[in-house]
């Protein structure tokens, strides 16, 4: 598909637990560790002409555990390791501050879409917990959950689209919005990087048309972001 024909114009990622391993209230760039496939996923989108951004709750600032400079330093490190990203949106407020941009509120997604000059309906939000997808829904964007050990089983069950890993989530939107509850793409990475490449399997099934298996999601949610 010609990139200009893809209705998905931007992908907005959650930060902690999605792009990088979650270090509670991290203010140290040296502790940044990208998740498997993060850099490849971002490069894949950029190679297909899809804009990329990050929308992240950072309540450690409101709680006095981080400074805004700390957050910027960590974000810069992520940009170096995983990006570059076209837009960053950060909410420094806590859950009781009434902020309209703190996820699950839609403000950061709307702001990021506005800065990219794309409609929210043409954006896909990828995150690891239910508030990421709730924010996407409220903004009028599409949402994909990539569960990890902090994702509650009920969040996985309620998600409109679930991918077992970040690269699968990204491959699923290279030709349009996500389709099907369980996303699967068995193409080799090299084939996915080929703009206009063929061979994508139907969303929601494996290469033989069978249903994909949802990832196990043990554990409970970690600290509030």
Q: What is the distance of C-alpha 138 from the center of its chain? A: 16
The helix/strand/coil state of 48 is: coil
* 122 counts as catalytic: no
Strands of the sheet containing 87-91, edge to edge, are: 87-91, 51-57, 10-13, 123-127, 142-145
**Locus of tokens 């981080």:** 66
* 14 counts as catalytic: yes
Q: What are the residues whose beta carbons fall under 8 Å from the beta carbon of 76, sequence distance 6 or more? A: 29
Selected catalytic residue, list 14, 22, 70, 185? 14
The H or E element containing residue 76 is: helix 68-81
Q: What are the residues whose beta carbons fall under 8 Å from the beta carbon of 159, sequence distance 6 or more? A: 130, 133, 143, 144, 145, 181
Q: Which of 55, 51, 72 is nearest to 8 (CA)?
A: 51
d(CA 211, CA 183): 10
Q: In sequence order, what are the beta bridge partners of 13?
A: 54, 126
The H or E element containing residue 11 is: strand 10-13
Selected catalytic residue, list 16, 122, 128, 185? 16
| Catalytic residue annotation | 14, 16
């Amino acid at each position: 598909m010609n990139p200009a024909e893809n209705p998905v114009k931007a992908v907005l990622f959650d930060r902690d637990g999605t792009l990088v391993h979650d270090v509670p209230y991290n203010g140290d760039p040296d502790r940044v560790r990208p998740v498997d496939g993060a850099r490849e996923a971002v490069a894949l989108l950029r190679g297909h002409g899809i804009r990329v951004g990050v929308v992240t709750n950072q309540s450690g600032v409101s709680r006095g555990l981080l400074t805004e400079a700390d957050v910027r330093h960590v974000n810069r490190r992520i940009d170096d390791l995983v990006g570059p990203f076209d837009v960053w949106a950060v909410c420094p407020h806590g859950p009781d501050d009434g902020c309209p941009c703190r996820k699950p509120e839609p403000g950061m997604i709307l702001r990021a879409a506005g800065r990219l000059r794309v409609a929210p309906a043409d954006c896909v939000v990828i995150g690891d917990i239910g508030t990421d997808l709730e924010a996407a829904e409220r903004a009028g964007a599409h949402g994909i959950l990539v569960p990890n050990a902090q994702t509650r089983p009920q969040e996985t069950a309620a998600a409109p689209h679930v991918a077992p890993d970040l690269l699968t989530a990204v491959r699923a939107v290279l030709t349009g919005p996500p389709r099907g509850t369980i996303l699967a793409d068995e193409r080799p990475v090299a084939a996915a990087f080929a703009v206009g490449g063929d061979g994508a399997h139907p969303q929601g099934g494996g290469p033989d048309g069978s249903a994909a298996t949802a990832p196990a999601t043990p554990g409970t949610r970690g600290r509030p972001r």
